[in-house]
């Protein structure tokens, strides 16, 4: 079968012919139908972060497909089910975080496409307890971006506790951002979308953003403060400078939601303003299995729209370059059905 393999952080990933994996007792073997390319896969392939994947590995945590075989201990799904294989690929199930609803903080977690091989391949294995069933009414091509971009931004909006008529600034209208705009709208926020490409801002407007700011030509801080400041700023761009802009865009009592994971992983947080303005700084990491079920339910009910371009797996290196250039419409999804 074909699989994307990263062998060297300095070189492009390759598509190689590798054996189909066998499921362990708690695992399923999934025939992948569609698999999205998250910016995180690019960080992984480049070894951008302090904790690096062990080489060689297959990235991908937006894999969706049909269960083809099940391990001897699997009770959660059956052959023929359509499932999603998210970043949160395994948790211990018994620690405090796992049992109190914060399973994505589990210290024993396995992360799909990072600490274990991911979904950018024709067949994938995944722990049956941590895959999420894709309901009828959600196509595999739509389910793929929802499996990370969707659940991550849905969770970001949840942890921000946005209430109707609050002002939400979304920085970065890529794969994650185009869905963040929609979730912020669903909970009743007034949305300002910030990006550096006009076509992404046009898309944000079409998906419900009330205002847009092109940060390449206009200072987003001045623009957002001129409107009274944001109650919530969600950072989805892979740039630490954007975190500073987002912080300075907040009004008193504002919440900065940190989601993007730039290589240069630090920004200056002014203590005086944080304290006097009562600002909260919140990190948000993907979402739980239940969050993903809710994301699928919203999509099946027609509340969200996924914007993606399909490509063949052979195009992986160029696809990564195109995401970095910002020249793709929201998400790239590899379509395995052809």
**Residues found near ligand NAD in the complex (CB under 6 A):** 38-40, 43, 148, 152, 171-177, 194-197, 200, 215, 236-239, 242, 259-261, 284-286, 323, 326
Q: Can you tell me the distance from the alpha carbon of 303 to that of 168, in angstroms, rounded to the nearest whole number?
A: 19
In angstroms, give the least distance from the CB of 83 to ligand NAD: 19
Residue 50 Cβ vs ligand NAD, minimum distance, rounded to whole Å: 13
In angstroms, the Cα distances linking 236 to 17, 38, 112, 262 are 34, 12, 20, 10
- The residues near 193 (Cβ < 8 Å, ≥ 6 apart) are 170, 173, 177, 181, 200, 201, 204, 205, 209, 211, 212, 213
Half-sphere exposure in the Cβ direction for 291 (13 Å, CA): 27
Least Å distance, CB 262 to ligand NAD, is 6
The stretch among 101-109, 137-145, 232-240, 269-277 that binds Zn ion (CB under 5 A) is: 101-109
- The whole-angstrom separation of Cα 219 and Cα 77 is 50
Q: Is 294 helix (H, G, I), strand (E, B) or coil?
A: helix
Reading the block at residue 159, the tokens are 């942890």
Closest approach of ligand NAD to the CB of residue 254, in Å = 18
Q: How far is the CB of 286 from ligand NAD (least distance, A)?
A: 4
Show the binding pattern over residues 144-163: x = contacts Zn ion (CB under 5 A), - = does not.
----x---------------
Strands 331-335 and 308-311: parallel
Q: Report how far residue 190's alpha carbon sits from residue 327's, in angstroms, rounded to the nearest whole number.
A: 27
Using the minimum distance from each CB to Zn ion, give the nearer residue, 53 or 91.
Answer: 91
Residue 209 interacts with which of Zn ion, ligand NAD, none, CB < 5 to 8 Å by class? none
What whole-number distance in Å separates Cα of residue 220 and Cα of residue 245?
7
Q: Which is nearer to ligand NAD, 106 or 148 (CB)?
A: 148
Residue 121 three-state SS: strand
Give whichever of 91 and 260 is closer to ligand NAD, judged by the CB atom: 260
Q: Which of residues 9-48 bind Zn ion (CB under 5 A)?
A: 38, 40
Q: For residues 29 and 146, which CB has a smaller minimum distance to ligand NAD in the complex? A: 146
Query: SS3 for 56?
Result: coil
**Binding site partner of 91, from Zn ion, ligand NAD, none, Cβ cut-off 5-8 A by kind:** Zn ion
- The distance from CA 75 to its chain's CA centroid, rounded to whole angstroms, is 28
77 or 230: whose CB is closer to ligand NAD? Answer: 230
Q: Convert residues 56-95 into a mask of x (bound to Zn ion by CB under 5 A) and - (unbound).
A: -----------------------------------xx--x
Please tell me whether residue 179 binds Zn ion under the rule CB under 5 A: no
Scanning the structure block, which residue is given the tokens 């947080």?
269
Question: 250 - beta bridge partners?
Answer: 230
Residues that bind Zn ion (CB under 5 A): 38, 40, 91-92, 95, 98, 106, 148
């Amino acid at each position: 079968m074909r699989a994307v393999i990263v062998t060297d952080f300095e070189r492009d990933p390759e598509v190689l012919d590798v054996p189909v994996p066998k499921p362990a007792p708690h695992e399923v073997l999934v025939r992948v139908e569609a698999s999205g390319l998250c910016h995180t896969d690019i960080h992984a392939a480049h070894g951008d972060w302090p904790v690096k994947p062990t080489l060689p590995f297959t990235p991908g945590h937006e894999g969706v497909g049909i269960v083809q075989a099940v391990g001897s201990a699997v009770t959660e799904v059956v052959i023929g089910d359509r499932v999603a294989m998210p970043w949160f690929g395994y948790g211990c199930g018994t620690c405090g975080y796992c049992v109190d609803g914060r399973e994505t903080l589990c210290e024993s977690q396995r992360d799909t496409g990072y600490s274990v091989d991911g979904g950018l391949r024709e067949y994938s294995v995944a722990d049956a307890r941590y895959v999420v069933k894709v309901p009828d009414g959600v196509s595999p091509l739509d389910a793929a971006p929802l499996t990370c971009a969707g659940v991550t931004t849905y969770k970001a909006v949840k942890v921000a506790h946005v209430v109707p008529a609050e002002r939400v600034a979304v920085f970065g209208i890529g794969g994650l951002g185009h869905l963040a705009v929609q979730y912020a709208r669903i909970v009743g926020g007034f949305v300002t979308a910030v990006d550096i490409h006009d076509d992404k801002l046009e898309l944000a407007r079409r998906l419900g953003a009330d205002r847009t700011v092109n940060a390449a030509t206009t200072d987003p801080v001045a623009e957002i403060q001129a409107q009274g400041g944001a109650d919530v700023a969600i950072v989805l761009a892979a740039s630490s400078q954007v975190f500073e802009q987002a912080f300075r865009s907040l009004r008193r009592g504002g919440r900065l939601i940190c989601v993007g994971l730039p290589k240069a992983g630090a920004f200056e947080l002014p203590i005086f303003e944080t304290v006097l303005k009562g600002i909260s700084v919140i990190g948000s990491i993907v979402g739980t299995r239940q969050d993903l079920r809710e994301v699928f339910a919203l999509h099946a009910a027609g509340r969200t729209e996924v914007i993606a371009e399909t490509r063949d797996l052979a195009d992986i290196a160029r696809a990564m370059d195109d995401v970095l250039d910002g020249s793709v419409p929201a998400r790239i999804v590899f379509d395995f059905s052809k």
